[in-house]
Structure 1
Amino acid sequence: MNEDKSLLRPEWRQWLAENLALGVGSEEVQQVLVGAGVDPTLAHEEMEAVRKHPYFQACLQVARHFGWLESLMDVYSELRSQDGGRQLEVREHLSPEEFFRRYYFGHRPVVLRGLMKDWPALQKWSLGYFREHFGPVEVEVMMGRDANPEHAAQHDRHRTRMPFADFLSMVESGKETNDYYMVPRNDNWRHEGLSSLREDLRAPEGLIDPSLQADMMTLLLGPAGTVTPLHHDNMNILLGQVMGRKHVKLVPSYERHRVYPHRGTFSHVDAGKPDLTAHPLFAQASVLETVLEPGDMVFLPVGWWHWVKALDVSASVTFHHFLIPGGNTHLEAPF
């Protein structure tokens, strides 16, 4: 990188201030700058200038608060690890009262079994069923995901409308791919042509609003190999697996600093193949794992990070209208 030897570019000044404020050592910072082509004398002068600047003193104060919160979260993580926090519980015949007390208000994920036994979808749903009853319906899917590492955050770039039958033909090809996927960020449930699919579902009694209106759920459908990258939702979610299997990994909300967040709700870490050299703190994360079989549900607490990969052709639904006073709990972004 050919830097002007008399001036450090603004993006490098920002990088310098951020890393010094977060406690990165001077020698390490200097090595990175020199390795990027910055003159050693200029790098040293810039570090000294940054340290003396009043704005940097304010950054240090913010960083101290940030570090204190991270330390508190580390303590909380250690306490939770001794209270079952490193185990993903699997429950059957769970009462609504215990679900809300231990899991919803306890901010714990849980795999729930037996809540979908009365779902017609478990017997009816298949690619052939979709094609026979809904083939001509125009649906929205995300296409060209493989070409964009940021496809999840930049989902609007990938929106494509097509007849449901055309999308089903791609899924039926048997190809394992992440290139095309019907994800929750669409209006397919609200589409008049697919509305009758909701009749194949049942709201888990005592947990979810039984009216199951179109804006109360989402549909996910795609081939084996589809990946939802590590991210968190800003509200509690109940995900039900109808067709196929999905591999799920979860990381607690209070271990945010261990997943290298970016773009607010996404992570730099590839949870399928984490690079611990680039992201060493992820080695300390409490990663909870499960494989969802058809008929399984998993509760994803607000703010909990999750990564999901379809092992087979897969169809899932999600719910977010829980039967609690005041409605679902939401995480409001600070900025």
Structure 2
Amino acid sequence: MNREDSRLAMEWHTWLAENLALGVSAEDAQQVLVNAGVEAALAQREVAAAQAHPYVVAARRIGRRYEWLEALSDLYAELHRQSGALTLEKRRGVSPEEFFSRYYFGHRPVVLQGFMEDWPAMRRWSLADFRERFGDVEVEVMTGRDGNPDHASQPDKHRQVMALRDYVHRVETAGESNDFYMVPRNENWKRDGLARLREDIRAPAGIIDPELRPDMTTLLLGPSGTVTPLHHDNMNVLLGQVLGRKQVRLVPSFQRHLVYPRHGTFSAVDAASPDPARFPLYGEATVLEGVVEPGELLFLPVGWWHWVRALDVSATVTFHHFQLPGGNTHLRTPQ
């Protein structure tokens, strides 16, 4: 039966093709149509026609490959659970060798302690210090975030340039807010006026490339209440927490099918308050939770989903040039 001869709306043809490709049975598909008001005999004919369409036949073959990959991901998740890795580890005294073997190559997150004690930033950084030393420097921040639920995936709509002293004033007076935030996409480290600020940090010895060029680090600065929605990065990242605390929730990379991806690297789930009616599969995800304190480094393995909320006025530095012969590992973005 050609679509032109069908009495179903285009949306139902799309729904049938997608769900049959994903393995929904003909009986269940027919019942959904009937429940939506489609006559039973018509529903049966439409489902049969869809099943026989060559595009749907091909899509079902692809769907079975997807099911195998999903089953393999579930198996890996079960092995991960059986290993007891159900909490976000905090470790002191980890050698670079152990970090790379257990966490980087083991694809496991960890909070590292003791690597930031020699940072001048730990003694010096404050909002008053930023205003005094760099107040005249123009920086870019993301503003108007509260008015756009998709602000994280639409950064160009929210860029605003202002003097750092004006931004610091907003942070000081805002209380708890998610409406504005200085994030890595603002690339403020590359501004010459903040060069002395970069001198206040140190590369974690043996883990991060000690050269620390401006393009090797990023800066996050904002008030209490800023939220980074659930998403993943396409490379390994090390976060150094200088000011304030951050609450984090992480989901393993191999549970992508449980977090309802959208816009490629973002999740449709609000990890602060997941809706089990809209996102039931998220309830099956392994969620690691913790608080990153000042002076701690959080390692985020490539592809791991993470949600972050600032509990205080917060300043964070990120590193992504690991001291490895082959450099960082990257996740290829599908075309």
TM-score (norm 1): 0.93
Contact 2:225 2:311 (C-alpha < 8 Å) held by counterparts:
yes
The equivalent residue for 1:178 is 178
Structure 1 window deviating more from structure 2 (36-45 vs 191-200): it is 36-45
Tell me how far 1:178 sits from its aligned partner: 1.0
**2: distance between equivalents of 1:307 and 1:262?**
15
The equivalent residue for 2:119 is 119
SS at match of 2:152: coil
Matches within 5 A, 1:305-316: 305-316=305-316
**2: distance between equivalents of 1:36 and 1:158?**
41
Tell me how far 1:61 sits from its aligned partner: 0.6
Change (3 A) 1:9 1:137: farther
Contact 2:23 2:60 (C-alpha < 8 Å) held by counterparts:
no
Change (3 A) 1:9 1:139: farther
The equivalent residue for 1:128 is 128
Q: Unaligned regions of 5+ residues in structure 2, if any? A: none
Contact 1:16 1:47 (C-alpha < 8 Å) held by counterparts:
yes
Contact 1:139 1:162 (C-alpha < 8 Å) held by counterparts:
yes
1:178-202 Cα shifts (integer Å, max 9, x gaps): 1111111022100011121100000
Contact 2:235 2:328 (C-alpha < 8 Å) held by counterparts:
yes
Contact 2:227 2:308 (C-alpha < 8 Å) held by counterparts:
yes
The equivalent residue for 1:70 is 70
**1: distance between equivalents of 2:56 and 2:302?**
34
Amino acid at match of 1:294: P
**1: distance between equivalents of 2:332 and 2:200?**
33
The equivalent residue for 1:18 is 18
Change (3 A) 1:38 1:126: farther
The equivalent residue for 1:52 is 52
SS at match of 2:185: coil
The equivalent residue for 2:102 is 102
**2: distance between equivalents of 1:181 and 1:295?**
21
Q: Unaligned regions of 5+ residues in structure 1, if any? A: none
Change (3 A) 1:42 1:121: farther
Change (3 A) 1:62 1:312: same
Q: Does residue 1:328 correspond to 2:328, yes or no? A: yes
Matches within 5 A, 1:283-322: 283-322=283-322
Contact 2:189 2:219 (C-alpha < 8 Å) held by counterparts:
yes
Matches within 5 A, 1:1-335: 7-26=7-26, 29=29, 43-335=43-335
Q: Percent identity among equivalent residues?
A: 63
Contact 1:8 1:42 (C-alpha < 8 Å) held by counterparts:
no
**2: distance between equivalents of 1:139 and 1:323?**
29
1:179-238 Cα shifts (integer Å, max 9, x gaps): 111111022100011121100000000000111110001100111111111111000000
Give aligned pairs, total: 332
Tell me how far 1:167 sits from its aligned partner: 1.4
Change (3 A) 1:139 1:12: farther
**1: distance between equivalents of 2:317 and 2:46?**
53
SS at match of 2:186: coil
Contact 2:50 2:56 (C-alpha < 8 Å) held by counterparts:
yes
Contact 2:258 2:285 (C-alpha < 8 Å) held by counterparts:
yes
Amino acid at match of 1:254: F
Query: Which of structure 1's runs of 4+ aligned residues deviate more than 6 A?
Result: 34-41
Contact 1:259 1:285 (C-alpha < 8 Å) held by counterparts:
yes
